[in-house]
Amino acid sequence: MANNTKFKGWTLVLNSVRTPLGFFTLLALILNGILLGTAALTNKAPMWAPIGLFGLLLVFVFAIVWNKPYVLYHPRDWQTVTVKLIFLRPDPNNPGKFQEIDSPEIDLDVPKCRLEVRDKRGEPKHKRKKIPNLALGLGAWNFQLIEDVRPSDSVHLELIEHNKTKWRVKPFRPYATDQKALPIR
């Protein structure tokens, strides 16, 4: 029975390591423990080495978390935002007004559509534009922002149909759930 609870504790520790950063930290702590044991039992390693390694590990992990806080979480735990696209075209009966188009009429060429997230300085967060995970569902085109976006970032979206019609979506902040798409003339 006591053996069973021992394994249960290890299972909890291993199940808590769900991210690459968590795995790296666990591995570094295990190696630090081995180095500390070696330094305490033999004179082959100085005692300050494991303590210095642990301090370096803390600084390294803090620097990573400071720059990319989402590495602490598994991607499925990130807050995802579903953005609904509302397609509008000029109303022929009312100049200057727009009318909504039924989304099933829009035939997006998803591999040609592009998504870019920019930081508050306007610099792209990634080296190349990504293909948004567009899907037609519940009567509208939707996509999810799963990236490590911050409230100060802006999202840029380029949409292209199979018939080469291009749609413009004004840059918007993450967590804005309904966005209007206008055709580019």
Q: 0.75 cut: is pTM over it? A: no
pLDDT at 34: 81
Domain count, the chain: 2
Residues 114, 32: one domain?
no
pLDDT at 7: 66
Low-confidence ranges of the chain (pLDDT < 50): 1
pLDDT at 49: 74
Give the range of the structural domain holding residue 119, as residue numbers without chain letter: 79-183
Residues 109, 157: one domain?
yes
Residues 89, 174: one domain?
yes
Residue 103: CB partners within 8 Å, gap ≥ 6? 85, 87, 136, 139, 140, 141
Q: Give CA–CA dist 127/158, Å, rounded.
A: 16
Task: Using alpha carbons, select from 181, 175, 4 the residue that is nearest to residue 88.
Answer: 181
Residues 134, 104: one domain?
yes
What residues pair up with 161 in beta bridges, in sequence order?
108
What are the strands, taking DSSP E only, across 6-128? 81-90, 98-100, 114-118
